[in-house]
Each structure stands twice: as C-alpha cells, then as structure tokens.
Amino acid sequence: LSIRLFFIVLLLGFLSLLWLQFSCSGDESRSQTAEATVPQKPCVLEPLPPIPDDPSWGPHRLAVLVPFRERFEELLTFVPHMHRFLSGKKIRHHIFILNQVDHHRFNRASLINVGFLESGNDTDYIAMHDVDLLPLNEELDYSFPTAGPFHVASPELHPLYHYSTYVGGILLLTKQHYQMCNGMSNRFWGWGREDDEFYRRLRAAGLQLFRPSGITSGYKTFQHLHDPAWRKRDQKRIASQKQEQFKVDRTGGLTNLKYRVESRISLSVAGAPCTVLNILLECDSNETPWCAFG
C-alpha cells in the first residue's frame, strides 16, 4: 500500500511540476516591480540529456543520502538539480532517496545510517544532504574529503542556521570517517538535535571539521525550498525527550540500528537517475517512547 501511494503521489507531483513549468516559462516581459512582489518558485528544468557516470572523472564516487518523507515537490526539484550540479563538477555520484514508510515519527539520523549501509561498495564517501537545500554556487566543493569531514552548508553560508557548531544541511564524509563515529544516534525521533549530537561524535573520534573558504555569495549560496507556512516540522518533545535530547548517545548508532528495506526502486526524474529505498525503521518503545506520535 505504501509503495502504491508513493507512486500515486509521485505521478501527481510530476503533473504539478508540468504545470509549474508552463507557469515559469510565461511572459518574460514583466516589470521588475511585478517580479519583486511575486514570490519566485523554482522553475522546472528541461529533461536532462543522459549524463554518464564517467570513470575518467576520478576514482571516488559519492553516495548522496537524502532523508525523506512526503516532500514530493521538493524531491522532484532536488534530483535533477543535484544530478546536473554534480555532473557539471565531474563528481561521480548516486542519489539515494531514503523514504521512511513506517508509522513512527521521522528519524533523519537513522535514515542516514540506513543509507550508509545500503549504498554499496561502489561508493566510498557520502553526503548527508537535506532535500530542501540546493547548492547554487559552482565553487562549492563536493569532492572526496580526504583530510576530514567537509561541511558544505557552513554557518556562514546556510540561509537559516548560523551557530558555530552547526553541521547540518550538507555534510561530506568518507565512509571510513562515518564508521569511526559509529554513524549517527538513533534516539532522535522528530525534527532537530541529531546534528548537534553528531558534532560531538566527530570531536570524540578526533576528526577535524573543514568548511568552504573563498565563497563570496554569503546566504545566497543555497536555495532553501522549505516553506514553514505550509510545511510544518514535527518539533514536539514527548515524554522524557526534552531532557534526553541534549545527552550524548555513547553506544548507539550503526551498531544498534534496526530496520527493513521494504523495496528498492530505480527512478529517473527529468532524466536524472536516483534510487528510492522504502524503509521501515524499528523502535524500542522502552528505550525511546517518543518515537510514536502524540
């Protein structure tokens, strides 16, 4: 049922994007004043010509891990944009949509853990990548982070989050470095705080964090697709979660992750390939009773 629903909504999303394409390609002679008063939606790009994963681009291959639930409009913009952006930089890559189809609250960290384990041996580094954050500046570096984790969406560039220990949005790590951290904690159900805990894991593993330099586009470096007016985030703190959310999980991560991949589906979005993993996460209600809604 969940797979059928996924494809129905995906089809509706394509139809809505087709309408959006016509609306974006209308009369370009509007005045600048009119454009300033109308919010600009991201226009749908023309279908991409096939872009091969060219081994001559280098030995490394990136797994783009995208935690996901029900953000179909954002997904249909994200996949072709990222495929074009990374191909233009000659970054070999594979986009994984980590679709949570269980009835628990959203768990971004656990989905990234699943993506890490399911991304295969043909990728050797990962991007923990929000679906609603699109890189715009061609100078952003997505190459293999040999020296240490590379925070692409640094506080100086992210349109919303500017505190010094922020590591969310877009973070690149080699698979070896992610393994050294034992992945991310599985205790964070609902939205927020999992990145802050992961920053402590990076420190505990002795890894140095690197960030972009020489980027002059500031807060316009990325396009943020999220609209809080209609896309509410699940920020509830249930039971003892309010006290637990600031604690370091010293034992959990890849080693205690429990999940099942219900299905693995290869898709092409406007000519851009991706793989959708429909994921059922398991929750120990004794350990984290806040995994359930309400």
d(CA 137, CA 35): 23
Average pLDDT over residues 287-294: 81
- pLDDT tens for residues 11-41? 544 444 444 343 333 333 333 333 333 334 4
For the cut 70, the answer to whether the pLDDT of residue 79 exceeds it is: yes
d(CA 218, CA 159): 8
Can you read off the two tokens belonging to residue 191? Answer: 């939205």
| Residue boundaries of the structural domains of the chain | 61-226+243-281
- pLDDT tens for residues 177-196? 999 999 999 999 887 689 99
pLDDT for the residue 198:
96
More confident residue, 44 or 168: 168
Q: Which residue from 235, 150, 248, 251 is spatially nearest to 198, judged by alpha carbons?
A: 248
DSSP state, residue 201:
H
Average pLDDT over residues 210-236: 80
Give bridge partners of residue 260 from the DSSP assignment. 280
Collapsing DSSP states into helix, strand and coil, what is residue 115? helix
The three state secondary structure string of 26-73 is: CCCCCCHHHHHHCCCCCCCCCCCCCCCCCHHHCCCCEEEEEEECCCHH
pLDDT for the residue 240:
59
- pLDDT tens for residues 228-253? 555 566 556 565 555 666 677 888 99
Contact 97, 83 (CB under 8 A): no
The CATH code of the domain at 61-226+243-281 is 3.90.550.10
pLDDT for the residue 20:
39
pLDDT for the residue 4:
61
Can you read off the two tokens belonging to residue 117? Answer: 């384990």
Enumerate residues 6+ apart whose C-beta is below 8 A from 141: 150, 152, 212
For the cut 90, the answer to whether the pLDDT of residue 172 exceeds it is: yes
Average pLDDT over residues 82-91: 96
Collapsing DSSP states into helix, strand and coil, what is residue 274? strand
For the cut 50, the answer to whether the pLDDT of residue 89 exceeds it is: yes
pLDDT for the residue 32:
37
pLDDT for the residue 193:
82
pLDDT for the residue 263:
97
Collapsing DSSP states into helix, strand and coil, what is residue 158? coil
pLDDT for the residue 110:
97
